Amino acid sequence: MRDTMLIALFAFLGAAAAGLLGAGVLLLIRRRSVVAHLAVVAAVAVAAMLAGTLAVAQAMFLSSHDLSVVTTVVAMATVVSLATALLLGRWVVGRSRALALAARSFGDGGDFTTPEGAATAELADLSRELESTSTRLAESRERERALESSRRELVAWISHDLRTPLAGLRAMSEALEDGVADDPDRYLRQIRTEVERLNDMVGDLFELSRIHAGALALSPSRISLFDLVGDALAGADALASEHGVRLIGGRVEPVPVEVDGKEMSRVLGNLLINAIRRTPADGTVAVAAERSPEGVVLSVTDGCGGIPEEDLPRVFDTGWRGTHARTPPAGAGLGLAIVRGIVEAHQGRATVRNIPGGCRFEVTLPVAVSEA
């Protein structure tokens, strides 16, 4: 028993010395290839066995013949271990290089494709993560391209919309200045109308910039939908009369919501203005508010005849107007984008869908906390 303990002790000391030496070597080559690391690990394992054997032999527990036999066996094990480590290392390095080449496609705006062939579990996990990241990056690039295209369109359209009233204002002011205006009062009224239109456009741009910058500060309070819709209908009544459109607000439940009254009034006002302008004379625009499993749904239904299916996903995009005609009634294409921004700031959702004869815009808001 005592001899066994001594053999174990000398073997441990010899193997520990080899292990410490191997750890030092690994520390020195920590930035080298995995091939070198695997070779060192295999060499340390064999060296630990050989060092333990030599330590036991020095303690006279092995004869010279037995030591020669063990050394020969260890030498053969060393050759096989190193060859296996080198093969494994080269295979792992090859797979890593293939993965690195595939990942370079990110920088070129391409998609990541997992290299063919078997891989270790860790490399397979890394490939899946890179593939998932590639998908998210592709979606992000697509959104960025769409936003950039929307920004360019917005700049072009706003420039056009600003230039038209400004040219009219200059012409009318010159006519008044030269005294050639037949009806100065009419010119002054038209100038006021154009200035108000420009003011509304600048206000929409400012509101949209606050929304995009995340600087829209809300002051929520408890409001009844009945009061909110009633005020919005009263504000849009004059425009509806001008266009010969009937406003209906019959199905409105007095459900309380926690919203910013001013901003939500703007949402309803934009939806009503949009609906009235696109509904033909003698048409009807209906407003409804009711509970749903998802919260409270405010809807504005018009008689515009419907929106082309290919345009439905773009309705709330900045600058979308639904027509190529750059006429003043079309607006600056900011109203619906503002609607979506304000609604999403309230943790809600704005959607649109076609119905027979027109379309329905729906705003879904969370109910008041005490009602949830």
Intra-chain end-to-end CA distance of the chain, in Å:
77
Give the 3-state secondary structure of residue 363: strand
130 half-sphere exposure, CB direction, 13 A CA radius: 23
Per-residue pLDDT of the chain (372 residues; tens, 9 = 90+): 566 676 676 666 666 777 777 777 767 776 677 667 777 777 777 777 777 766 666 665 556 766 677 677 767 777 777 777 777 777 777 777 777 777 776 656 667 677 776 666 777 777 778 777 777 877 887 878 877 777 777 777 777 777 777 888 888 888 888 887 778 888 888 888 888 888 877 887 888 788 877 778 888 888 888 888 888 888 888 889 989 999 988 778 778 888 888 888 989 998 998 899 889 988 899 998 888 888 888 999 998 888 888 888 888 877 666 654 434 444 556 788 889 999 998 889 999 999 998 999 999 988 766 544
Per-residue confidence (pLDDT) for residue 205, from 0 to 100: 81
What's the pTM? Answer: 0.58
Per-residue confidence (pLDDT) for residue 363, from 0 to 100: 92
Per-residue confidence (pLDDT) for residue 56, from 0 to 100: 65
Q: Is 189 exposed, middle or buried (0-12, 13-18, 19+ CB in 10 A)?
A: exposed
> What are the helix (H) ranges across the chain?
2-28, 34-58, 64-103, 121-178, 184-212, 225-243, 261-278, 335-345
Max intra-chain CA distance, the chain: 129
Per-residue confidence (pLDDT) for residue 244, from 0 to 100: 92
Report the alpha-carbon distance of residue 148 to residue 168 in Å, rounded.
31
Per-residue confidence (pLDDT) for residue 350, from 0 to 100: 92
**Chain centroid, CA 225 distance in Å:** 32
Could you tell me how many residues make up the chain? 372
DSSP state string for 220-289? -EEEEHHHHHHHHHHHHHHHHHHHT-EEE---B---EEEE-HHHHHHHHHHHHHHHHHHSPTT-EEEEEE
To the nearest 10 degrees (0 to 180), the angle between helices 225-243 and 261-278 is 30
Per-residue confidence (pLDDT) for residue 332, from 0 to 100: 54
Report the alpha-carbon distance of residue 367 to residue 351 in Å, rounded.
18
Distant-in-sequence contacts of 210-213, Cβ < 8 A, 24+ apart: 211/337, 211/338, 211/341, 211/342, 211/345, 212/341
